[in-house]
Amino acid sequence: MSDIHILSEKLNNREIQLLDLLRQYPLRIDQGIWILSEPPKNLVEYATNNVYTINLKALSTLEEKGLTEKQNNEIHLNHLGQKVAEYLQKVASHLQEKHNKQSTRQELSNAKLAKSNEMLELYKQGLSYREIGNQYQITRERVRQLLDFNPAFHEYLIEKKQAKAQAQKEQEEKKRQQQLAKSIIALYPEPVAELWDYEKNAALSPEEVGAGSTLLSPWFKCPIDGHSWQKRPNDITTSWNRGASGCPKCARRKKKPESHLLNTD
C-alpha cells in the first residue's frame, strides 16, 4: 500500500489522468507503433480520441515507471498500474466526498444564517427570545444560540448600545440647556456681571446656578464699597427686581435716614 502511495506521489497530473483513462479503456494503437520509441505523427492521428500529442510523453513515462504494458496493439495497465489507478481513484473519490460534505455543511450553515436573520428582524421589532421561539416552536435558549451565531446580531447590539449612549448624551445636553435658560446669568445678565464674586465663588459658575435657587448661597461683591456677602439667588433676585443691588452695606446707608419712618412695623 505504501509503495503504491509512493508511486502515485511521483505522478504528475497528466499521468494521473492517463492512468484513470487506461483504467477504463485500454489504448489501441492501430499502426502498431509503440510509444517508447519516438512517437511519429501517425501515432497521434490513429490514437484514440482521448489521446493527444501532449499525452504521448506521459504514456511513455507510465511505461518507464512500470505501470503499463503492451499487448496486441493495446496499451493497458499491468497489475501494479491497476493498483495505483485504483488507489488514486479512491483518493479522488475521498476528496470529492469531503468536498461534498463541506458543501453540505456550507448549505446548512447558510440555511441557519437565513433563519437567524429572520429571527433578528423579529428581535429588532421588540420580540423577546421566548416570543420568537414560540413562532418557530423552539426554545428561547435555541433562539439565543441562533442569534449568537449571527455576526449581524452582534453588530445590531453594538449599534443599539451606541444609539442609547447618544440619546443619553442628547438628553443630558438638553437638560443642561434647560438649566442654563433658568440660570441666574441668563435671567439677570447685568447684575451678575456687576456683582458675582468670581473669586470667592471659585468653581461655581453662574451658569450652573438657577435664578430661583434656594439651595445655594453664592458670594456677591459690591462694586461701590467692595463689600462681599452671601445670598440665596431667590432672595437676591428679589432685590434686583426692585432695582437694588442687594448689598447690605449700601442698604444700611440708604435706610439710616429713613429708619424712623419704618418704625410702624
Q: Which of 75, 222, 233, 246 is close enough to bind Zn ion by CB under 5 A?
A: 222
Which of residues 138 and 250 has its CB atom nearest to Zn ion in the complex? 250
Shortest CB 159 distance to Zn ion, Å: 59
- Kind of pairing between the strands at 74-77 and 68-71: antiparallel
Shortest CB 190 distance to Zn ion, Å: 16
Residue tagged 496493439 (cell numbers)? 73
Q: What share of the chain is helix, strand, coil (3-state, %, to 5)?
A: 65, 5, 30
DSSP annotation of 197 reads -
Q: Tell me if 146 contacts Zn ion by CB under 5 A.
A: no
Contacts of Zn ion in 234-253 (CB under 5 A): 247, 249-250
- Interface size with Zn ion, residues (CB under 5 A): 7
Which of residues 159 and 225 has its CB atom nearest to Zn ion in the complex? 225
Q: Tell me if 127 contacts Zn ion by CB under 5 A.
A: no
Query: b/e map of 170-181 (b: 16 or more CB within 10 Å)?
Result: eeeeeeeeeeee
Task: Dig out the grid coordinates for 65 from the structure.
Answer: 515507471
Which of residues 38 and 190 has its CB atom nearest to Zn ion in the complex? 190
Select from 56-64, 124-132, 224-232, 233-241 the region that touches Zn ion (CB under 5 A).
224-232
What are the backbone angles phi and psi of residue 183, rounded to the nearest 5°?
-75, 160
- Nearest-angstrom CA–CA distance, 55 and 263: 131
- Nearest-angstrom CA–CA distance, 71 and 26: 10
Q: Tell me if 224 contacts Zn ion by CB under 5 A.
A: yes
Residue tagged 485500454 (cell numbers)? 26
Shortest CB 229 distance to Zn ion, Å: 9
Q: Which of 97, 173, 225, 235 is close enough to bind Zn ion by CB under 5 A?
A: 225
Which of residues 69 and 194 has its CB atom nearest to Zn ion in the complex? 194
Select from 80-88, 97-105, 122-130, 225-233 the region that touches Zn ion (CB under 5 A).
225-233
CA angle 187, 191, 192 (to 5 degrees): 75
Task: Report whether 109 contacts 100 (CB < 8 A).
Answer: no
Which of residues 25 and 198 has its CB atom nearest to Zn ion in the complex? 198
Select from 114-122, 142-150, 215-223, 229-237 the region that touches Zn ion (CB under 5 A).
215-223
Q: How many residues does the chain have?
A: 265
Residues of the shown chain interacting with Zn ion in the complex, contacts defined by CB under 5 A: 222, 224-225, 227, 247, 249-250
